[in-house]
Amino acid sequence: MRDVQRVAIVDPSDATREALRNVLLGVEAIWLEAECARYEFFLEVISQSVPDVAVVSLDSDQTKALQLIAQLTSELPEVPILAVSARGDGQTILQALRNGAREFLTVPIVLEDLLKALSRLQRSRASDNKNGEAPVKMDSLVIAVLGSRGGVGCTSIAVNLGATLAQDAHHNAALIDLDLALGDADIALDLMADYTLADVALNIDRLDLQFLRRSLSKHSSGLSLLPHPVQMEDAGLIREDHLQRVIGLLRASYTHLVLDLSKSFSPTDITALRMADLILLVAQLDLTSLRNVVRMLATLSVEQGMADKVQIILNRVGSDTDISLKKAEETIGKPIYWQIPNEPKPLIESRNHGLPLLLYAPRCKVQQSIAGLAEAVCGKPLQAAAKEKASRWGGLFSRR
Protein backbone atom coordinates (compact mmCIF):
# COMPACT_ATOMS: atom_id res chain seq x y z
CA MET A 1 0.00 0.00 0.00
CA ARG A 2 1.21 3.47 -0.86
CA ASP A 3 0.29 6.44 1.37
CA VAL A 4 -0.56 9.91 0.10
CA GLN A 5 2.13 12.50 0.85
CA ARG A 6 0.86 15.78 2.30
CA VAL A 7 2.94 18.65 0.93
CA ALA A 8 3.04 22.32 1.93
CA ILE A 9 4.77 24.98 -0.16
CA VAL A 10 5.96 28.52 0.48
CA ASP A 11 6.86 30.88 -2.36
CA PRO A 12 6.16 34.64 -2.42
CA SER A 13 6.22 34.62 -6.24
CA ASP A 14 2.75 33.93 -7.65
CA ALA A 15 4.13 32.69 -10.98
CA THR A 16 6.57 30.09 -9.65
CA ARG A 17 4.21 29.06 -6.84
CA GLU A 18 1.45 28.41 -9.35
CA ALA A 19 3.78 26.38 -11.58
CA LEU A 20 4.84 24.23 -8.62
CA ARG A 21 1.24 23.86 -7.46
CA ASN A 22 0.18 22.61 -10.91
CA VAL A 23 2.91 19.99 -10.93
CA LEU A 24 1.93 18.72 -7.48
CA LEU A 25 -1.80 18.66 -8.25
CA GLY A 26 -1.15 16.36 -11.18
CA VAL A 27 0.14 13.58 -8.91
CA GLU A 28 -2.57 11.50 -7.25
CA ALA A 29 -0.19 10.31 -4.52
CA ILE A 30 0.32 13.91 -3.35
CA TRP A 31 -2.09 16.07 -1.36
CA LEU A 32 -1.39 19.80 -1.37
CA GLU A 33 -1.88 20.47 2.33
CA ALA A 34 -1.11 24.19 2.30
CA GLU A 35 0.48 26.95 0.26
CA CYS A 36 1.81 30.20 1.63
CA ALA A 37 2.98 33.45 0.03
CA ARG A 38 4.96 34.80 3.02
CA TYR A 39 8.08 33.24 4.54
CA GLU A 40 7.30 34.69 7.95
CA PHE A 41 3.88 33.01 8.16
CA PHE A 42 4.87 29.55 6.91
CA LEU A 43 5.91 28.05 10.25
CA GLU A 44 2.61 29.02 11.82
CA VAL A 45 0.68 27.61 8.85
CA ILE A 46 2.29 24.17 8.87
CA SER A 47 2.48 23.88 12.67
CA GLN A 48 -1.26 23.24 12.62
CA SER A 49 -1.21 20.30 10.20
CA VAL A 50 2.46 19.13 10.21
CA PRO A 51 2.76 18.03 6.55
CA ASP A 52 4.93 15.17 5.30
CA VAL A 53 7.11 17.54 3.23
CA ALA A 54 7.74 21.29 3.25
CA VAL A 55 8.79 22.84 -0.07
CA VAL A 56 10.63 26.16 0.29
CA SER A 57 11.41 28.34 -2.73
CA LEU A 58 14.59 30.37 -2.26
CA ASP A 59 14.30 32.84 -5.11
CA SER A 60 12.14 35.67 -3.77
CA ASP A 61 14.46 36.35 -0.84
CA GLN A 62 17.25 33.82 -0.39
CA THR A 63 18.31 35.14 3.02
CA LYS A 64 14.80 34.88 4.47
CA ALA A 65 14.26 31.48 2.85
CA LEU A 66 17.46 30.06 4.34
CA GLN A 67 16.55 31.46 7.76
CA LEU A 68 13.13 29.80 7.44
CA ILE A 69 14.72 26.44 6.57
CA ALA A 70 16.92 26.66 9.67
CA GLN A 71 13.92 27.58 11.82
CA LEU A 72 11.80 24.73 10.45
CA THR A 73 14.63 22.28 11.02
CA SER A 74 14.90 23.40 14.63
CA GLU A 75 11.21 23.61 15.55
CA LEU A 76 9.70 20.92 13.28
CA PRO A 77 12.52 18.42 12.78
CA GLU A 78 10.06 15.70 11.78
CA VAL A 79 9.14 17.61 8.58
CA PRO A 80 11.73 17.10 5.82
CA ILE A 81 12.44 20.15 3.66
CA LEU A 82 12.78 20.29 -0.12
CA ALA A 83 14.46 23.51 -1.29
CA VAL A 84 13.84 24.75 -4.85
CA SER A 85 15.58 27.52 -6.76
CA ALA A 86 16.39 28.67 -10.27
CA ARG A 87 19.97 29.09 -9.05
CA GLY A 88 21.55 25.67 -9.12
CA ASP A 89 25.09 26.74 -8.32
CA GLY A 90 27.06 24.82 -5.73
CA GLN A 91 27.03 27.65 -3.20
CA THR A 92 23.22 27.93 -3.17
CA ILE A 93 22.78 24.17 -2.88
CA LEU A 94 25.36 23.96 -0.09
CA GLN A 95 23.76 26.76 1.92
CA ALA A 96 20.31 25.16 1.66
CA LEU A 97 21.60 21.76 2.76
CA ARG A 98 23.66 23.22 5.61
CA ASN A 99 20.59 25.04 6.93
CA GLY A 100 18.66 21.78 7.05
CA ALA A 101 17.12 21.05 3.64
CA ARG A 102 17.11 17.32 2.82
CA GLU A 103 16.73 17.73 -0.96
CA PHE A 104 17.37 20.45 -3.56
CA LEU A 105 15.79 20.85 -7.02
CA THR A 106 16.34 23.48 -9.68
CA VAL A 107 13.51 25.40 -11.34
CA PRO A 108 11.80 24.70 -13.73
CA ILE A 109 11.13 21.45 -11.94
CA VAL A 110 11.17 18.22 -13.94
CA LEU A 111 8.33 15.99 -12.77
CA GLU A 112 10.40 12.81 -12.64
CA ASP A 113 13.06 14.56 -10.51
CA LEU A 114 10.39 15.87 -8.14
CA LEU A 115 8.83 12.42 -7.73
CA LYS A 116 12.21 10.84 -7.01
CA ALA A 117 13.03 13.51 -4.43
CA LEU A 118 9.66 13.10 -2.70
CA SER A 119 10.09 9.32 -2.72
CA ARG A 120 13.51 9.64 -1.06
CA LEU A 121 12.07 12.00 1.55
CA GLN A 122 9.20 9.64 2.28
CA ARG A 123 11.51 6.67 2.74
CA SER A 124 13.80 8.76 4.94
CA ARG A 125 10.89 9.96 7.07
CA ALA A 126 9.59 6.42 7.49
CA SER A 127 13.00 5.09 8.49
CA ASP A 128 13.32 7.85 11.10
CA ASN A 129 9.93 6.98 12.57
CA LYS A 130 10.30 6.28 16.28
CA ASN A 131 7.89 3.35 16.04
CA GLY A 132 10.22 1.59 13.66
CA GLU A 133 7.75 1.42 10.79
CA ALA A 134 9.14 0.09 7.51
CA PRO A 135 9.79 2.61 4.75
CA VAL A 136 6.86 3.12 2.41
CA LYS A 137 7.43 2.30 -1.22
CA MET A 138 6.02 4.93 -3.54
CA ASP A 139 6.59 3.16 -6.81
CA SER A 140 3.95 0.99 -8.41
CA LEU A 141 4.19 -2.72 -8.90
CA VAL A 142 4.67 -3.00 -12.68
CA ILE A 143 3.53 -6.38 -14.02
CA ALA A 144 4.33 -7.41 -17.59
CA VAL A 145 2.14 -10.18 -19.01
CA LEU A 146 3.90 -12.05 -21.81
CA GLY A 147 2.51 -14.92 -23.88
CA SER A 148 4.57 -17.94 -24.94
CA ARG A 149 2.65 -17.95 -28.23
CA GLY A 150 -0.50 -16.46 -29.73
CA GLY A 151 -3.80 -17.59 -28.25
CA VAL A 152 -2.59 -18.64 -24.78
CA GLY A 153 -4.87 -16.11 -23.08
CA CYS A 154 -2.36 -13.37 -22.34
CA THR A 155 -4.83 -10.49 -22.78
CA SER A 156 -7.59 -12.23 -20.82
CA ILE A 157 -5.25 -12.69 -17.88
CA ALA A 158 -3.93 -9.11 -18.11
CA VAL A 159 -7.43 -7.59 -18.27
CA ASN A 160 -8.93 -9.74 -15.52
CA LEU A 161 -5.89 -9.41 -13.27
CA GLY A 162 -5.93 -5.62 -13.68
CA ALA A 163 -9.67 -5.39 -12.97
CA THR A 164 -9.28 -7.63 -9.91
CA LEU A 165 -6.40 -5.55 -8.55
CA ALA A 166 -8.54 -2.43 -8.98
CA GLN A 167 -11.14 -3.80 -6.53
CA ASP A 168 -8.94 -3.23 -3.49
CA ALA A 169 -9.74 0.15 -1.94
CA HIS A 170 -6.01 0.76 -1.48
CA HIS A 171 -5.21 0.04 -5.12
CA ASN A 172 -5.30 2.21 -8.21
CA ALA A 173 -4.68 0.01 -11.24
CA ALA A 174 -4.02 0.74 -14.92
CA LEU A 175 -3.46 -1.40 -18.01
CA ILE A 176 -1.36 -0.46 -21.04
CA ASP A 177 -2.05 -2.44 -24.22
CA LEU A 178 1.37 -2.89 -25.81
CA ASP A 179 0.24 -5.24 -28.57
CA LEU A 180 0.49 -2.17 -30.77
CA ALA A 181 -0.86 -3.67 -34.00
CA LEU A 182 -3.40 -6.30 -32.93
CA GLY A 183 -4.20 -5.62 -29.28
CA ASP A 184 -7.77 -6.00 -28.07
CA ALA A 185 -7.85 -5.01 -24.41
CA ASP A 186 -10.30 -2.24 -25.34
CA ILE A 187 -12.68 -4.85 -26.81
CA ALA A 188 -12.40 -7.02 -23.69
CA LEU A 189 -13.48 -4.01 -21.63
CA ASP A 190 -15.91 -2.57 -24.21
CA LEU A 191 -14.21 0.82 -24.05
CA MET A 192 -14.23 3.42 -26.82
CA ALA A 193 -11.16 5.40 -25.85
CA ASP A 194 -10.70 9.06 -26.76
CA TYR A 195 -6.91 8.74 -26.66
CA THR A 196 -4.40 6.00 -27.42
CA LEU A 197 -0.67 5.42 -27.09
CA ALA A 198 -0.25 7.08 -30.49
CA ASP A 199 -1.77 10.34 -29.15
CA VAL A 200 0.57 10.19 -26.19
CA ALA A 201 3.57 9.66 -28.49
CA LEU A 202 2.58 12.61 -30.67
CA ASN A 203 2.45 14.85 -27.58
CA ILE A 204 5.51 13.43 -25.84
CA ASP A 205 7.29 16.80 -25.68
CA ARG A 206 4.57 18.33 -23.52
CA LEU A 207 3.65 15.15 -21.69
CA ASP A 208 3.04 15.51 -17.98
CA LEU A 209 1.14 13.41 -15.50
CA GLN A 210 -2.09 15.40 -15.81
CA PHE A 211 -2.14 15.02 -19.61
CA LEU A 212 -1.26 11.33 -19.35
CA ARG A 213 -3.99 10.59 -16.80
CA ARG A 214 -6.55 12.31 -19.02
CA SER A 215 -5.44 10.02 -21.85
CA LEU A 216 -6.53 6.89 -19.97
CA SER A 217 -10.10 5.59 -20.13
CA LYS A 218 -11.63 4.31 -16.90
CA HIS A 219 -13.75 1.16 -16.84
CA SER A 220 -16.63 0.64 -14.41
CA SER A 221 -14.50 -1.98 -12.63
CA GLY A 222 -12.09 0.79 -11.64
CA LEU A 223 -9.35 -0.28 -14.07
CA SER A 224 -7.89 2.48 -16.28
CA LEU A 225 -6.78 1.65 -19.83
CA LEU A 226 -4.29 3.20 -22.24
CA PRO A 227 -5.08 1.33 -25.48
CA HIS A 228 -3.01 0.54 -28.58
CA PRO A 229 -3.20 2.89 -31.61
CA VAL A 230 -6.38 2.74 -33.70
CA GLN A 231 -4.51 2.73 -37.02
CA MET A 232 -2.02 -0.11 -37.42
CA GLU A 233 0.46 2.17 -39.17
CA ASP A 234 0.57 4.40 -36.08
CA ALA A 235 2.31 1.65 -34.12
CA GLY A 236 5.60 2.98 -35.52
CA LEU A 237 5.06 6.30 -33.71
CA ILE A 238 5.76 4.71 -30.33
CA ARG A 239 9.46 4.45 -29.47
CA GLU A 240 11.26 2.95 -26.51
CA ASP A 241 11.98 6.34 -24.91
CA HIS A 242 8.28 7.23 -25.17
CA LEU A 243 7.33 4.09 -23.29
CA GLN A 244 9.99 4.70 -20.64
CA ARG A 245 8.51 8.13 -19.96
CA VAL A 246 4.91 6.85 -19.92
CA ILE A 247 5.66 4.00 -17.49
CA GLY A 248 7.82 6.28 -15.34
CA LEU A 249 5.01 8.82 -14.98
CA LEU A 250 2.25 6.26 -14.41
CA ARG A 251 4.28 4.60 -11.65
CA ALA A 252 3.88 7.82 -9.70
CA SER A 253 0.08 7.74 -9.85
CA TYR A 254 -0.95 4.08 -9.93
CA THR A 255 -0.22 1.41 -7.34
CA HIS A 256 -0.39 -1.34 -9.97
CA LEU A 257 0.47 -1.09 -13.65
CA VAL A 258 -0.24 -4.09 -15.92
CA LEU A 259 1.49 -4.25 -19.32
CA ASP A 260 -0.10 -6.52 -21.94
CA LEU A 261 2.75 -7.29 -24.34
CA SER A 262 2.76 -8.51 -27.94
CA LYS A 263 4.32 -11.80 -29.04
CA SER A 264 6.94 -10.16 -31.27
CA PHE A 265 9.67 -9.28 -28.73
CA SER A 266 9.70 -5.80 -30.27
CA PRO A 267 11.88 -2.99 -28.88
CA THR A 268 8.87 -1.67 -26.93
CA ASP A 269 8.25 -5.15 -25.49
CA ILE A 270 11.88 -5.39 -24.36
CA THR A 271 11.64 -1.92 -22.79
CA ALA A 272 8.50 -2.98 -20.93
CA LEU A 273 10.20 -6.15 -19.69
CA ARG A 274 13.16 -4.13 -18.41
CA MET A 275 10.91 -1.71 -16.54
CA ALA A 276 8.67 -4.41 -15.05
CA ASP A 277 9.04 -5.58 -11.47
CA LEU A 278 7.37 -8.90 -12.29
CA ILE A 279 7.03 -10.79 -15.59
CA LEU A 280 4.16 -13.28 -15.86
CA LEU A 281 5.02 -15.64 -18.70
CA VAL A 282 1.77 -17.32 -19.78
CA ALA A 283 1.95 -20.84 -21.21
CA GLN A 284 -0.19 -23.90 -21.79
CA LEU A 285 0.61 -27.56 -21.26
CA ASP A 286 1.41 -28.28 -24.90
CA LEU A 287 4.74 -28.90 -26.61
CA THR A 288 4.84 -25.70 -28.70
CA SER A 289 4.09 -23.41 -25.77
CA LEU A 290 6.55 -25.12 -23.41
CA ARG A 291 9.30 -25.11 -26.05
CA ASN A 292 8.80 -21.38 -26.50
CA VAL A 293 8.99 -20.85 -22.74
CA VAL A 294 12.44 -22.49 -22.75
CA ARG A 295 13.55 -20.30 -25.67
CA MET A 296 12.20 -17.13 -24.07
CA LEU A 297 13.83 -17.83 -20.72
CA ALA A 298 17.15 -18.35 -22.50
CA THR A 299 16.76 -15.01 -24.29
CA LEU A 300 15.75 -13.16 -21.14
CA SER A 301 18.70 -14.66 -19.24
CA VAL A 302 21.11 -12.77 -21.48
CA GLU A 303 20.26 -9.54 -19.64
CA GLN A 304 21.30 -9.62 -16.00
CA GLY A 305 18.40 -9.91 -13.58
CA MET A 306 15.70 -10.20 -16.25
CA ALA A 307 15.02 -13.94 -15.91
CA ASP A 308 14.82 -13.59 -12.11
CA LYS A 309 11.65 -11.51 -12.54
CA VAL A 310 9.86 -14.23 -14.56
CA GLN A 311 7.11 -16.38 -13.07
CA ILE A 312 5.42 -19.09 -15.16
CA ILE A 313 1.61 -19.04 -15.35
CA LEU A 314 -0.11 -22.12 -16.78
CA ASN A 315 -3.44 -21.27 -18.38
CA ARG A 316 -6.34 -23.58 -19.30
CA VAL A 317 -5.13 -26.41 -17.08
CA GLY A 318 -7.30 -29.53 -16.94
CA SER A 319 -7.57 -30.81 -20.51
CA ASP A 320 -7.14 -34.55 -21.14
CA THR A 321 -4.45 -33.78 -23.72
CA ASP A 322 -2.29 -31.76 -21.32
CA ILE A 323 1.34 -32.67 -20.78
CA SER A 324 1.82 -33.53 -17.12
CA LEU A 325 2.82 -30.81 -14.70
CA LYS A 326 5.91 -32.74 -13.64
CA LYS A 327 7.03 -33.09 -17.28
CA ALA A 328 6.39 -29.37 -17.88
CA GLU A 329 8.55 -28.33 -14.94
CA GLU A 330 11.32 -30.70 -16.04
CA THR A 331 11.17 -29.22 -19.54
CA ILE A 332 11.18 -25.61 -18.38
CA GLY A 333 13.68 -26.10 -15.56
CA LYS A 334 11.66 -23.73 -13.38
CA PRO A 335 8.73 -24.31 -11.00
CA ILE A 336 5.23 -23.29 -12.03
CA TYR A 337 4.09 -20.19 -10.13
CA TRP A 338 0.35 -20.37 -10.79
CA GLN A 339 -2.24 -22.51 -12.58
CA ILE A 340 -5.51 -21.25 -14.05
CA PRO A 341 -8.18 -23.89 -14.80
CA ASN A 342 -9.73 -24.56 -18.17
CA GLU A 343 -13.20 -23.01 -18.16
CA PRO A 344 -13.89 -21.51 -21.61
CA LYS A 345 -17.62 -20.72 -21.35
CA PRO A 346 -17.55 -17.79 -18.86
CA LEU A 347 -14.38 -16.41 -20.44
CA ILE A 348 -15.86 -16.34 -23.95
CA GLU A 349 -19.18 -14.94 -22.75
CA SER A 350 -17.56 -12.24 -20.59
CA ARG A 351 -15.38 -11.19 -23.52
CA ASN A 352 -18.39 -11.04 -25.86
CA HIS A 353 -20.16 -8.82 -23.33
CA GLY A 354 -17.11 -6.59 -22.84
CA LEU A 355 -16.98 -7.28 -19.09
CA PRO A 356 -14.20 -8.62 -16.89
CA LEU A 357 -15.01 -11.87 -15.12
CA LEU A 358 -15.41 -10.23 -11.71
CA LEU A 359 -18.44 -8.36 -13.09
CA TYR A 360 -19.80 -11.09 -15.39
CA ALA A 361 -19.06 -14.36 -13.57
CA PRO A 362 -17.38 -13.60 -10.23
CA ARG A 363 -17.90 -17.14 -8.87
CA CYS A 364 -16.42 -19.01 -11.81
CA LYS A 365 -13.25 -21.03 -11.25
CA VAL A 366 -11.13 -18.84 -13.52
CA GLN A 367 -12.02 -15.62 -11.68
CA GLN A 368 -11.40 -17.27 -8.31
CA SER A 369 -8.00 -18.34 -9.59
CA ILE A 370 -7.16 -14.85 -10.86
CA ALA A 371 -8.26 -13.38 -7.51
CA GLY A 372 -5.77 -15.69 -5.85
CA LEU A 373 -3.09 -14.65 -8.34
CA ALA A 374 -3.80 -10.97 -7.61
CA GLU A 375 -3.26 -11.59 -3.91
CA ALA A 376 -0.13 -13.61 -4.58
CA VAL A 377 1.56 -10.91 -6.68
CA CYS A 378 0.74 -8.38 -3.96
CA GLY A 379 2.36 -10.62 -1.36
CA LYS A 380 -0.90 -11.27 0.47
CA PRO A 381 -2.10 -14.65 1.76
CA LEU A 382 -4.93 -16.35 -0.07
CA GLN A 383 -8.36 -15.73 1.37
CA ALA A 384 -9.94 -18.66 3.16
CA ALA A 385 -12.55 -19.04 0.42
CA ALA A 386 -9.89 -19.23 -2.25
CA LYS A 387 -8.02 -21.88 -0.27
CA GLU A 388 -11.21 -23.88 0.11
CA LYS A 389 -11.86 -23.84 -3.61
CA ALA A 390 -8.27 -24.64 -4.40
CA SER A 391 -8.65 -27.80 -2.32
CA ARG A 392 -12.00 -28.64 -3.89
CA TRP A 393 -10.65 -28.33 -7.44
CA GLY A 394 -7.44 -30.21 -6.78
CA GLY A 395 -5.28 -27.11 -6.36
CA LEU A 396 -5.74 -25.99 -9.96
CA PHE A 397 -5.28 -22.37 -8.97
CA SER A 398 -2.76 -22.62 -6.21
CA ARG A 399 0.92 -21.83 -6.18
CA ARG A 400 3.39 -24.65 -6.01
The model's pLDDT over 236-283, given as tens digits with 9 standing for 90+, comes to 999 999 998 898 878 867 889 999 999 999 999 999 999 999 999 999
Four-residue CA torsion sign, 93, 98, 99, 101: positive
Q: Using alpha carbons, select from 12, 24, 109, 25 the residue that is nearest to residue 56.
A: 12
Average pLDDT over residues 311-328: 92
Q: How far apart are CA 233 and CA 180, in angstroms?
A: 9
Q: How far apart are CA 33 and CA 50, in angstroms?
A: 9
**Per-residue model confidence (pLDDT) at position 231:** 93
Contact of 387 with 380, CB cutoff 8 Å: no
Alpha-carbon distances of 194 from 105, 215, 217, 229, rounded to whole Å: 35, 7, 8, 11
Four-residue CA torsion sign, 161, 162, 166, 170: positive
Domain membership of residue 399 (yes or no) is no
Q: Are residues 277 and 381 in the same domain?
A: yes
Q: Are residues 243 and 274 in the same domain?
A: yes
**Per-residue model confidence (pLDDT) at position 330:** 94
Q: Are residues 266 and 117 in the same domain?
A: no
Out of 127, 150, 171, a domain closes at 127
* Domain total of the chain: 2
Provide the 8-state DSSP code for 347.
H
Q: Structure pTM? A: 0.69
Q: Which domain holds residue 176?
A: 141-392
Average pLDDT over residues 46-59: 90
Out of 93, 127, 161, a domain closes at 127
Q: Are residues 178 and 109 in the same domain?
A: no
